[in-house]
Every structure is written in C-alpha cells, then in structure tokens.
Structure 1
Amino acid sequence: MDSSSDQIAKEIRGMIRVYKDGRFQKLSGTDVVPAGIEPSSGVTSKDVVISPETNLSARLYLPKTNIKKLPLLIYYHGGGFIIETAASPVYHNFLNLVAAESNVVIVSVDYRTAPEHPLPTCYDDSWEAIKWVTQHANRNGPEPWLNDFADLEHAFFAGDSAGANIAHHMAIRFGSENPNIDIKLQGIILLHPYFWGKDRIGSEDEHPWKAFVEDLWTFCHPGTSGLDDPLINPDLDPKVSDLGCSRVLVCVAEKDLLKDRGYYYKDILGKNGWSGEIEVIEDKEEDHVFFLFKPSSETAGTLRKRICTFINQM
C-alpha cells in the first residue's frame, strides 16, 4: 500500500493541511448554518446566487423594521483567504447582531477561497458582488429585498481580517474604476485588517505569529510579488489615495499582531493625500477578531455599537 498520499507537504496551523498528492484539508471554518429567521431579533436571512457560472453567492440579512429605506452594508468575511464562508456560524451570528443593532441590510459575500481559487479570485468575486448590488439602483434588480429596502445612496463596505483587506481594495477600485456605478459609498469599516509588508513596524519582529502571517500570504497568492505586493501592503499601492469614500473606521485589538498595521493605515492615507476622515480605535486586552468568538462580551457589544454609530451617522 502506497502511504505517500498521506504525507504532508505543507501545513498552515489551524487553517489547512496539504498532502504530497495534491489533496488538502481545511482544518477549521468549514461548519455552516442555514439561513432563516433569528427568533430573538426577528432578523431574516437568505442565500442568493449572484453568478451561476462561478458559483458566487451571498447571504442577505434583513432586520425586522417598518422603515422602507435602510443603509446597505456589503460585508466580506475573514479567514486568511482560505477558510470560512458567508454561512459560517461565527459570521452568521455576528451579522445577525449587526443587522438588528444597526438596522441595516447586509450582503455577506461568499467569495471563492484559496487554494482552489488563489488570489486574486476573491477580489474579482467581491467586485462582481458589488456590480450585482448596483443592479438594484432603480429598484428593478433581481433581488426583492434590495429593491424594496436597501438605500444604495447610503452604502458601506466592511470586513474583518482578510475581509477587511478586501473591503479596502473594493473601495480603491470603486474610487479609481467606477464612473458609472450607481451606489454612493459613504464609508468603509476595517475590523482588524490583514495588511503586511517586508519591513517590520512596531512590535512585529517580536510577535510569535509573524512567520504565520507571511507564510499565509504567499500560500494564498502564489503569483505574488512578495510581502510588498500592493494587495497586502497599502503603503506601496499607487492607487491608495483613490479610496472612494470620505470616512473610514479602523478597529484594532491590543494583543493582535496586525494592530500596528491598522494604525499605520491612517498614516498611509494621510501622506498620500486622501482627504477624508479616519478613526482608529483600539480594544484593550483583546486579540484578533475576538468579537466573532466572544459575541456576548462587553467589548464585543461596544465594537458593534461603534459600527452602528458609524453607519447611522448623518
């Protein structure tokens, strides 16, 4: 019996194991929950197909409300570009809470992930989802919830970790490529954004997860130019000042390796001439995406209130 098929060629801890015969096993983020009605809040969710050709889909969330025009939030889940989906329990729970507390319609994009679909597939899928949303600008698009309730003049992009990276790039693409898209992007919300760079900043050199972050990027994007690729290092992106919104909220966590990159993002936008308003807020004693795994904590509740205030600020 040939046991070579069981030999491990590569493993990224907690995410994926790749075998020498090419098979791979995702080690977390594979559980899913169905859409439906959340009894305690009355938020209703459903899954919709955006592109049958690529199997691109999204999970929509509609809060229980009598208001006809609600802000629209397009959300990109995290997971290092490898794991998690729009149907993952942690994201379903989190976005049910956000929909209820912020009174917002949510489109949670189920973009394709690596290694089956290496980067930049996730960015292309995410842009396709935005274009699909804009079909509803005149209230005659394919999805009734967006036609009837979503205010495309009051739209936001958001995401956590790798999803925050995607939200950032969608805002740049929106600002640099989009003269004819019928949506008004009010702001972006970046929760613990996954940015990096070849040169260390802050306390990155001492952090035990440094090698993990770097290995993850090169695995997800085999064609990358490296750790200074503009897709991972906004400081080297010539289009960064094209960010197509006037407001940015960045949330970081004290114990998160990516914290310093979140603070540095503000400096990058400032020195490149972006003229909008940006706020960076740090949650003390917390680690990466804590709000997904401790949703009932006081700090997670405060973070969601922060999102609500940002979205509903007039």
Structure 2
Amino acid sequence: METEIASELLPFCRIYKNGRVERLSGTEIIPPSPDATNDVVSKDVTYSPEHNLSVRLFLPHKSTCNNHHNSNNNNNNNKLPLLIYIHGGAWIIESPFSPIYHNYVAELVKSANCLAVSIQYRRAPEHPIPASYEDSWSAVQWIFSHADGSGPEEWINEYADFNRVFIGGDSAGANMSHHMAMRAGQEKLNPRIKGVAIVHPAFWGTDPVDEHDVQDVEMRRGIAEVWEKIASPNSVNGTDDPLFNVVGSDSDFSGLGCDKVLVAVAGKDVFVRQGLGYAEKLRKSGWGGDVEVVVEEEEGHVFHLQNPSSENALRFLERFVEFITGSGTDVL
C-alpha cells in the first residue's frame, strides 16, 4: 500500500498520496445498548440510506417501563424533552458512536430524563464542508418528520415532545448547532425549537474578535490550516467563510429560530473570546430570546468531555440539564 504522506494535521489525521485518510483519534466505536446501561437504552437508526448515515437514539429506561403500566406522571403521557446532539471533532474525527459521545449523551439523557438523537454526519477530508451541515439539516428534518407522531421511528413518535426540542453540540458541533437554528428560523421549522446549547463553539476568523482574542500568529495559522486545508478547502474566503466566521462576519442573528440559547465557554480555551463575542452579538442582534452564558475560567476546550467526573464538569452537566428541563433560572 502507498505509504507516502501527502499531508499531516496533528492530532486529527494523516492523508496519504493515494488518497487514504488515517484518523489519529476519535475512531473507537461502541455499540448501542438495547439493555439498560446506566438506566439508559440506546439504538442506531438509519436516517440517510443514500449516504449510509445513522442517528443514535437514547431513551431513559424508566420510560420504556412506564409504557407497560401507567405511571402517575404529570403529563398523563410519556412525552419527554427531545435533545438533538451534534458531536464535535473539528469536522474530521469522532462520531455519535465514540465512547466519549455515547457516554456523555447517555448521561445527559439520564440526568434530564429526555430523549436524545445524536447525529452522524459525513466528515472531512473525504467529504469537505458543507457536507456535514447538509447532513445535520437532513437529520433535523428527518427528526421533525415525526412531529405528528407518524414518522418512521417509534421512539420519536412515542416519546418526543416537539414543544420541547433542543439542539446542542460542542466545538464544531456547537458551530453547526448555531447554523441549524439559523436555518430553522429561515425555513420556519415547525414546531419551533425551544433552545440551543452552544458549548465551546468553534467560531473563528482571519482577525481576532477583540484585544483578548488569540494574537499568536502561529496559533491562528494552525487553526486556519485545519479549516482551509482539511475541513473546508472549498471555502472562497478561507477562515472568513460565514460558516466559520460567525462572530466577525456581518451575518444577521435576528432570525435565529429558537427561544433561548445557552452559551458555554472555558477560560483556557482558544475559542473563549469567540464564544463570548457570539453571546454579545446575539444579545444586540434584535433576536428576542434569552441568552444564558456559562463561563468556567480555569478549564480548557471540551473539558467536560475529557474529564466528565470532575467537579466542574458535573456542575456544567447540571446547567445543561436545567437548560433542557426548564428548572433553574428559566421560568415556565
């Protein structure tokens, strides 16, 4: 086999001259759990036969039990909030089936007592941007095809409360979550999305957003390289592509198609100023919803996934859960 390396982008991938792509992390996968693991059951369902793409669904085990004997739950039915999750990994690595994402989404589902649908999308470099955005949107549409209770997937028909739909993601997935909410607004997605969780978003641009943003030329070049060489080589404006340069571009947020947004940033994350700039831009945009910002000063990028049992990660999990359940600051 051809072993000559054409390009290498650590820690993500190597590309060989014969076109083969070797991912250097985020390749491990674990199967879904049809039997309750940690009080959650999960299964994989194909949403795009054309591209061979699936979603992984997660359901609290007690919901499946309650189905068989009527529990005295407040709703007199089994409807649960629905979380649509878009994973991170620089558009290049990871999947809903990676241990890191399987375990985190399962924990969210258990803690928030919600149904979650974690989206698989085509990844760069084999499928450069905008494939991942197109796939994520087609998954959202597939999920919403169940809103009247007659979609192809029984768990969504039976358990999803379409008045309480949330989209969330981290890093590249947070970037895509924003764009899904923008598209939901433009296309008048119905029912309306309740909330969007933007966690450590991968937003960037050629120029720093403020004097506290990363000034280091090498570091800025490194991030630009991931976008321009691997993730989105077809972008006309490089890192100033409005898909990436969400904060610095003149894109209008006023039509964001949801009622509330949670923006989470970490003080030692290279994207921290972008995340804070995003929340500020959203507040000034004329969009009428609520913005909540969570800052963890002493932590780095996706610390809650790297070390999920740490005190700060558990505290953030609690905030994420409150955002979904409507407890805490959100008054219903």
Fold shared, TM-score > 0.5 on shorter chain: yes
Q: Deviations over 1:282-312 (max 9, x none)?
A: 1132111111121111111111100111111
How far 1:273 moved relative to its partner? 1.9
Counterpart selection for 2:26 from 25, 29, 36? 29
- 2: CA distance, partners of 1:226 / 1:14: 21
Partner of 1:280: 293
- 2: CA distance, partners of 1:9 / 1:252: 35
Q: Matched residues, percent identical?
A: 45
SS in 1 for 2:56: strand
SS in 1 for 2:54: strand
SS in 1 for 2:126: coil
Contact 1:161 1:289 in 2 (8 A): yes
Is residue 110 of structure 2 the alignment partner of residue 97 of structure 1?
no
Q: In 2 relative to 1, CA 91–214 (structure 1 residues): closer, same or farther, beyond 3 Å? A: same
- Runs of at least 5 residues in structure 2 that lack an aligned partner in the other structure: 67-72, 327-331
Contact 2:192 2:257 in 1 (8 A): no
How far 1:183 moved relative to its partner? 2.6
Partner of 2:42: 45
Contact 1:50 1:129 in 2 (8 A): yes
Contact 2:164 2:193 in 1 (8 A): yes
Partner of 1:197: 205
Partner of 1:16: 13
Contact 2:36 2:61 in 1 (8 A): no
Counterpart selection for 2:79 from 69, 77, 80? 69
- 2: CA distance, partners of 1:38 / 1:79: 28
Give runs of aligned pairs for residues 215-226 of structure 1, distance below 5 A: 215-218=225-228, 219-224=230-235, 225-226=237-238
Contact 2:79 2:158 in 1 (8 A): yes
Contact 1:102 1:312 in 2 (8 A): yes
Contact 2:86 2:174 in 1 (8 A): yes
Partner of 1:299: 312
Which residue identity does 1:95 align to in structure 2? V
Contact 1:207 1:257 in 2 (8 A): no
Partner of 1:188: 196
How far 1:239 moved relative to its partner? 3.9
Moved more, 42-51 or 275-284: 275-284
Moved more, 212-221 or 199-208: 199-208
Moved more, 283-292 or 229-238: 229-238
- Runs of at least 5 residues in structure 1 that lack an aligned partner in the other structure: none
Partner of 1:82: 92
How far 1:19 moved relative to its partner? 1.8
Which residue identity does 1:25 align to in structure 2? E
- 2: CA distance, partners of 1:281 / 1:206: 25
Q: Deviations over 1:209-256 (max 9, x none)?
A: 433321111121111122111101113253422111121101111110
SS in 2 for 1:154: strand
- 1: CA distance, partners of 2:284 / 2:155: 40
- 2: CA distance, partners of 1:189 / 1:258: 16
- 1: CA distance, partners of 2:203 / 2:93: 18
Moved more, 211-220 or 24-33: 211-220
Is residue 115 of structure 2 the alignment partner of residue 120 of structure 1?
no
Q: In 2 relative to 1, CA 206–222 (structure 1 residues): closer, same or farther, beyond 3 Å? A: closer
Is residue 232 of structure 2 the alignment partner of residue 232 of structure 1?
no
Is residue 155 of structure 2 the alignment partner of residue 158 of structure 1?
no
SS in 2 for 1:140: coil
- 2: CA distance, partners of 1:33 / 1:309: 28
Moved more, 210-219 or 90-99: 210-219
Q: In 2 relative to 1, CA 37–301 (structure 1 residues): closer, same or farther, beyond 3 Å? A: farther
Contact 1:111 1:126 in 2 (8 A): yes
- 1: CA distance, partners of 2:263 / 2:308: 19
Contact 2:88 2:170 in 1 (8 A): yes
Q: In 2 relative to 1, CA 257–268 (structure 1 residues): closer, same or farther, beyond 3 Å? A: same
- 1: CA distance, partners of 2:280 / 2:257: 17
How far 1:56 moved relative to its partner? 1.9
SS in 1 for 2:254: helix
SS in 1 for 2:22: strand
Contact 1:231 1:237 in 2 (8 A): no
SS in 1 for 2:167: strand
SS in 1 for 2:240: coil
Contact 1:73 1:104 in 2 (8 A): yes
Q: In 2 relative to 1, CA 312–212 (structure 1 residues): closer, same or farther, beyond 3 Å? A: same
Partner of 1:135: 145
Moved more, 207-216 or 155-164: 207-216
- 2: CA distance, partners of 1:216 / 1:34: 30
Counterpart selection for 1:269 from 282, 289, 307? 282
Contact 1:111 1:125 in 2 (8 A): yes
Counterpart selection for 1:106 from 99, 116, 129? 116
Which residue identity does 2:54 align to in structure 1? S
Contact 1:8 1:19 in 2 (8 A): yes
